[in-house]
Amino acid sequence: MKFSVINFITQHRMEISGSLLILGIITYIFYAIYDKLSTKKFMTLCSLFVDKFGARPAEVLIYQNGGVFFSFMRDAFFIKALYFKAGTFHTRGMDNDQIRFIKELPKEYTDWLRVKVRISIIGLILLFMMLAIFYVPSWFDGNVHSP
């Protein structure tokens, strides 16, 4: 039998997807720890925002006490302002002055947000790889497995 990647994945898909699942869990644990360590940086960013605009954004107020499960939602206002241009779909309803303020902050105030986004992207990639390796090889066999 000739060696191919598809054959290897098909034969070892449980082990590979299990390993990716473990890496995903480790990524989530790292995210939770990093979230706890970055709480002070979040509070500093909120203080700067309050000093400039008089109040925290509504999105931040809604999710600020949600714990690690809602920390990304809490940070979403700042993340959207960092990554997207003013007036785009993602920043609709946001004040352009607030977006400009967040974009112009020194990196020391926003680097932690960029790290959280990267950790989240790594976690999503691991999740999709795990699902693809678990389900795609069964499509090549003609066997459809239900979850």
Select from 78, 147, 145 the least CA-distant residue to 114: 78
Q: What six digits make up the tokens of 65?
A: 């006490």
Digit-coded pLDDT (tens) for 96-113: 888 899 999 999 999 999
Q: Chain-centre distance of CA 81, in angstroms?
A: 15
Rounded to 5, what percent of the chain is helix, strand, coil?
75, 0, 25
**Tell me, what's the pLDDT at 66?**
74
Kindly report the backbone phi and psi dihedral angles of residue 54, in degrees, each rounded to the nearest multiple of 5, phi listed first. Answer: 90, -15
Digit-coded pLDDT (tens) for 48-98: 999 999 888 887 888 877 777 788 888 888 998 898 888 888 888 888 888
- Give pTM, 2 decimals: 0.78
pLDDT exceeds cutoff 90 at 137: no
**Tell me, what's the pLDDT at 58?**
80
CA-to-CA separations, 66 to 15, 103, 123, in angstroms, rounded: 35, 25, 20
**Tell me, what's the pLDDT at 123?**
93
pLDDT exceeds cutoff 80 at 26: yes
